[in-house]
Amino acid sequence: MLAGYAVLLLANRQLNAENRIALHNDGVDQLQVQLSLPPAPPDAADLQRRINQVVSPGALVWLELANGVPFQEPGGEVIEVPARSMGRLVATSSAFSRSAMRPSSFEIDGRTFISSSRTVLLGKGGVAELHMLEDFSIDAERERQTQLLLIAFAGLTALFTSALLRLVLRRGLQPLDQLVAGIAAIQADSLSRQRLGQQPRPEELQPIALAFDALLERLALSFERQRSFADGVAHELRTPITLISGYARRLRRQEAPNAPSGPGGEPCPLALIQSEAERMGRLVSDLLDIARDDTGQLVLSRQRLDVEQELLVAYERLAGLAGARLRLGAPSEGPVLEAGGDADRLQQCLTNLVENALKHTPAETSIELFATPATPEAAVVVHVRDLGPGVPDAEKEAIFERFVQGSSGQGTAAARRGSGIGLSVVRLLMRRMGGEARVLDGEGGGADFQLSLPPFTPSEPPPSA
């Protein structure tokens, strides 16, 4: 639109210039005819009379013989310009007339002039050069005002059109925004329920919605197969792993107390079988929790927890796994630290954190279990703190993602055995209990894994996925 206005302004300017030249040519033609009329040769008074009959106000006319000798001084209507500019006007007009075949337009002192020259026959008086200088300043000023009005009108029209177009585009894009909002609201556990094509949409967007619904159906079917596979494998593996662990424990009890260890002082084979079976059992349990959470079937109980009592249970249960490395912090001297949550799931989280610390810290370092009183975000914070290499800042969030392992300790054999799901299950269970899991730098070095437990609210229903 603006380009159209620009073309219109240029065209209007060119047409006005051509119109001025046409008017000037008409005047020169009439003067040329008037000067050629008998009697011939006309005298100076007769020439002046003929010029005054034709020339309009604002024009300057003079004649020169063929040899350049002035036949008549400039006459006709006087152009009102300063006296110092008159000579420059005549000189400029003569220069333009000699250098151009058609009338020439120029400006002096902010005024617009057109000059031209013609050859006229003065009867028997011979040939003379007719020069005519005409002032078109008023027309040029009127043209500039018209152009300014057009520019102002073009600007206002562009602003109005932009505002109107914005409203039209906003209203036209509302269905697209609704489609985007519908796509953003789809979650992994609702792929089989939510559909976009069921809502009324414009004809242009309906094929997109239907195609996306078909994609959702394929994704839902694929996710369901994966979940069923993970759930089925976890259930199938749980029984043989439990049998292996139970028989290994029974054989160890029947084994002689002074039974020799493996080569190089390694634990006996039965102890390795038992520990690996228990580790596999915990891994299968974690996979089962992930599969249940993805299908929305993970349900946790909400009960009042004596946090320090739960830490004592975890310490007694994990002491055989961690040995002297595991230490239990002194109980707090204030009131009993209580919070809300699932006791079994809290024990599962503590087990995963202790196992993670054992894998990623040197064998001579200790691991401490303790709890701190309420913070603005939680009722109680449980700490699993080690003195290992710590967790880099860039990995403090990434290690809680599924199948992601931190760089610390990855070169050890224990670290290579990691599955990368232990910490993700910890965060998953804590969030389902209404809490949070995070890792900070320990005060004396190492990593401080913290479990924030919410306060106990009896009226609150058990949280689920």
pTM: 0.53
Instruction: Specify if 412 maps to a domain.
Output: yes
Most confident residue range from 27-31, 59-63, 252-256, 376-380 = 27-31
Most confident residue range from 23-32, 106-115, 186-195, 337-346 = 337-346
Confidence of residue 97 (pLDDT cuts 50, 70, 90): low
Check whether 15 has a pLDDT greater than 50: yes
71/63 Cα distance (integer angstroms): 6
Check whether 187 has a pLDDT greater than 90: no
Q: Which CATH number belongs to the domain containing residue 311 in this structure? A: 3.30.565.10
pLDDT of residue 79: 39
Q: Which CATH number belongs to the domain containing residue 35 in this structure? A: 3.30.450
Look at residues 129, 146, 163 and tell me which one is the last residue of a structural domain: 146
More confident residue, 362 or 76: 362
Best CA proximity match to 143, nearest among 112, 102, 109: 112
Report how far Cα 45 is from the mean position of its chain's Cα atoms: 84
Instruction: Specify if 218 maps to a domain.
Output: no
Most confident residue range from 298-302, 401-405, 418-422, 452-456 = 452-456
3-state DSSP assignment of residue 362: coil
- Please report, in angstroms and rounded to a whole number, the separation of the first and last CA atoms in the chain: 56
CB atoms within 10 A of CB 83: 6
Confidence of residue 83 (pLDDT cuts 50, 70, 90): very low
447 HSE (CA, 13 A, CB side): 26
Domain that holds residue 446: 299-453
Torsion sign (Cα): 288, 293, 295, 299: positive
Name the residue with tokens 């228990």: 278
> 67-71: long-range contacts (C-beta < 8 A, 24 or more apart)?
71/122, 71/128
pLDDT of residue 77: 43
Residue range 184-193: average pLDDT?
Answer: 71
247/387 Cα distance (integer angstroms): 36
Best CA proximity match to 401, nearest among 434, 446, 444, 439: 439
pLDDT of residue 44: 67
More confident residue, 442 or 6: 442
pLDDT of residue 155: 84
209/162 Cα distance (integer angstroms): 31
Q: Average per-residue pLDDT in the chain?
A: 78
133/188 Cα distance (integer angstroms): 86
pLDDT of residue 75: 45
Q: Residues near 197 by Cβ (< 8 Å), separated by ≥ 6?
A: 206, 209, 210, 212, 213
Residue range 409-427: average pLDDT?
Answer: 66
Domain count, the chain: 2
Residue range 447-452: average pLDDT?
Answer: 95
407/400 Cα distance (integer angstroms): 13
Confidence of residue 123 (pLDDT cuts 50, 70, 90): low
Whether residue 41 has a cis bond before it, omega within 30° of 0: yes
Cβ(6)–Cβ(151) under 8 Å?
no
pLDDT of residue 419: 67
DSSP result, 55-113: PPTTEEEEEEETTS-EEEEEESSPP---HHHHHHHHHHHHHHHHH-SS-EEEEETTEEE
404 HSE (CA, 13 A, CB side): 13
Most confident residue range from 35-44, 144-153, 186-195, 235-244 = 144-153
Q: Percent of the chain scored above 70 by pLDDT?
A: 80
Instruction: Specify if 110 maps to a domain.
Output: yes
Instruction: Specify if 32 maps to a domain.
Output: yes
Best CA proximity match to 73, nearest among 84, 86, 82: 86
Cα–Cα distances in angstroms (integers) from residue 179 to residues 185, 189, 202, in the given order: 10, 19, 11
Instruction: Specify if 233 maps to a domain.
Output: no
322/135 Cα distance (integer angstroms): 108
More confident residue, 23 or 5: 23
Most confident residue range from 57-61, 254-258, 289-293, 386-390 = 386-390
Check whether 74 has a pLDDT greater than 50: no
Q: Please, what is the angle between helix 206-254 and helix 137-184, to 10°?
A: 40
Which tens digit of pLDDT belongs to each residue from 354-401? 999 998 899 889 999 999 987 776 789 999 999 999 999 999 999 999
More confident residue, 365 or 410: 365
> How many degrees, rounded to 5, is the angle at CA 370 between CA 398 and CA 304?
90
Which tens digit of pLDDT belongs to each residue from 230-241? 777 777 777 788
pLDDT of residue 464: 45
Best CA proximity match to 453, nearest among 351, 304, 327: 304
pLDDT of residue 78: 37
pLDDT of residue 304: 92
* Ranges 58-72, 200-214, 269-283, 284-298: which has the least confidence: 58-72
Residue range 96-124: average pLDDT?
Answer: 73
Q: Residues near 263 by Cβ (< 8 Å), separated by ≥ 6?
A: none
In the beta sheet, which residues pair with residue 452? 381, 436
Q: Percent of the chain scored above 90 by pLDDT?
A: 19
> 170-175: long-range contacts (C-beta < 8 A, 24 or more apart)?
175/201, 175/202, 175/205
365/353 Cα distance (integer angstroms): 15
Take residue 355 and report the two structure tokens written for it: 């196992």
Look at residues 104, 131, 146 and tell me which one is the last residue of a structural domain: 146
In the beta sheet, which residues pair with residue 326? 367
Look at residues 146, 181, 200 and tell me which one is the last residue of a structural domain: 146
Instruction: Specify if 226 maps to a domain.
Output: no
Confidence of residue 88 (pLDDT cuts 50, 70, 90): low
Instruction: Specify if 24 maps to a domain.
Output: yes
Check whether 284 has a pLDDT greater than 60: yes
Confidence of residue 115 (pLDDT cuts 50, 70, 90): confident
Which tens digit of pLDDT belongs to each residue from 312-344? 999 998 988 888 899 998 887 778 889 999 999
E runs forming strands in 259-343: 303-306, 326-328, 338-341
Which tens digit of pLDDT belongs to each residue from 144-186? 888 888 888 888 888 888 888 888 877 777 888 788 888 777 7
Instruction: Specify if 137 maps to a domain.
Output: yes
Q: Which residues of 374-406 are buried (b: 16+ CB within 10 A; e: fewer)?
A: eeeebbbbbbbbbbbbbbeeebbeebbeeeebb
Please provide residue 260's backbone torsions phi and psi, each rounded to the nearest 5 degrees.
-70, 150
pLDDT of residue 167: 83
pLDDT of residue 328: 93
